[in-house]
Amino acid sequence: MDTKVIVSSSPHIRADENIGRIMRDVVIALLPATLAGIYYFRLGAVKIILFSILAAVITEAVIQRIRKQEVTINDWSAVVTGLLLAFNIPASAPWWLPVIGAVFAIAVVKQLFGGLGHNFMNPALAARAMLLASWPVQMTSWIVPGPDVVSTATPLAIISGTEAAQANVPSLFQLFIGNHGGCIGETSALALIIGGIYLVYRGVITPRVPVIYISTVAVLTFVLGGGGFDIHFMMYQVLAGGLMIGAIYMATDYASSPVTPKGQIIFALGCGIITSIIRLYGGYPEGVSYSILLMNVASPLIDKYTSPKVFGEVK
């Protein structure tokens, strides 16, 4: 009998997905927001995006060379980190700010913990939090979209009362298309939603986390904010700030978020609750970055208690 049975380790069913394809899809999904940021913030946005991406890619290549590892900059993961970091920085920031942030994101948050897939929190968000704590003035110097560099406040800062600029409150339509002050990539909700739909269509993410996260913020701010049951206040909270980019592109990070469906639901609910608490009762009008980072830290524990039992497992 010549027939041989070869026993091999799992997985036995393989898919066509790989890191490079997934990261390229993320870059493609971010193109609408990139173009919107460049359109509204002009050369300032181009400067921040280029310096952030170049610093991220070069840092990854240098560290992998030093550690005598295979250089994996062709997988586009460093490009994604650099681009997401740039999206979280104002167009008025100096060129060295995204460089420092990108080096921190890649060297400390990503490579120090073992590289892609081993980071316990989102590198771009961790870098943003570090930059905000270290250079708060540069990280909160917003400008009005257009060729003229004029300082302004973000919509969240205006409606929260931390900025006395009530006369300049942008309309909901301006919030939706991105024609208002803010970070480069978080202003246009429309562009971010288009990219999110593309990621869902390509199977890169599921709508579970973004929908639950955004819905939680919407419900809590509708009930508790703006005097209670204020739909205009709720729409501001949903469309303004970093909620869209955080929920769609950062809370869905494979390495730093739960892998089980039940765990993802708990993760998204936690992000939404913390974001709402910070926005409604904290001294800072934005809370997306810190909420996702806090839930990133809790992800291993969430996975531990939501993982299904192994078939046939006995105590």
**pLDDT tens-place string over residues 106-136:** 999 999 998 888 899 999 999 999 999 999 9
CA 311 vs. chain centroid, Å, equals 35
Q: Of the candidates 140, 41, 129, 120, which has an alpha carbon nearest to the alpha carbon of residue 85?
A: 129
Residue 279 inside a domain? The answer is yes
CA angle centred on 270, ends 266 and 274, rounded to 5°: 175
Q: How many domains does the chain have?
A: 1
In a domain, 287, yes or no: yes
Asked if residue 1 has pLDDT above 60, the reply is no
The answer to whether residue 313 sits within a structural domain is no
Angle between helices 96-103 and 77-87 in degrees, nearest 10? 130
The highest-confidence range among 47-61, 165-179, 216-230, by mean pLDDT, is 47-61
Domain of 61 in residue numbering reads as: 19-305
Number of Cβ within 10 Å of residue 148's Cβ equals: 8
Residues of the chain with pLDDT > 90, as a percent, come to 70
pLDDT at position 161, please?
60
User: pLDDT category, 283, cuts 50, 70, 90?
Assistant: confident
Among the residues of 256-315, which ranges form H helices?
Answer: 261-281, 288-306
Confidence at residue 152, expressed as pLDDT on a 0 to 100 scale = 67
Cα atoms found within 13 Å of the Cα of residue 7, Cβ hemisphere only: 0
Please state which of the ranges 12-16, 86-90, 171-175 shows the lowest mean pLDDT. Answer: 12-16
Q: Is the whole-model pTM more than 0.85? A: yes
Which is more confidently placed, 229 or 25?
25
Q: H or E element: which one contains 131?
A: helix 123-134
Position 125 scores a pLDDT of: 95
Pick the more confident residue, 83 or 150: 83
pLDDT of residue 313: 62
Residue 88 has what DSSP assignment? Answer: T
CB atoms within 10 A of CB 71: 12
pLDDT category of residue 234 using cuts at 50, 70 and 90: very high
- Contact between 85 and 99 under an 8 Å Cβ cutoff? The reply is no
- The pLDDT of 51-76, averaged and rounded, is 94
Q: Give the SS3 label for residue 142.
A: strand
* pLDDT(163) > 60: no
Q: Give SS3 for 31.
A: helix
Average pLDDT over residues 141-170: 68
User: What per-residue confidence (pLDDT) applies to 142?
Assistant: 83
What CATH number is given to the structural domain containing 132?
Answer: 1.10.3430
Say yes or no to pLDDT of 32 above 90.
yes
**pLDDT at residue 162 greater than cutoff 60:** no
- Would you say residue 36 has pLDDT above 90? yes
In-domain check, residue 229: yes
Does 242 reside within a domain? yes
Q: For 216-225, what is the mean pLDDT?
A: 95
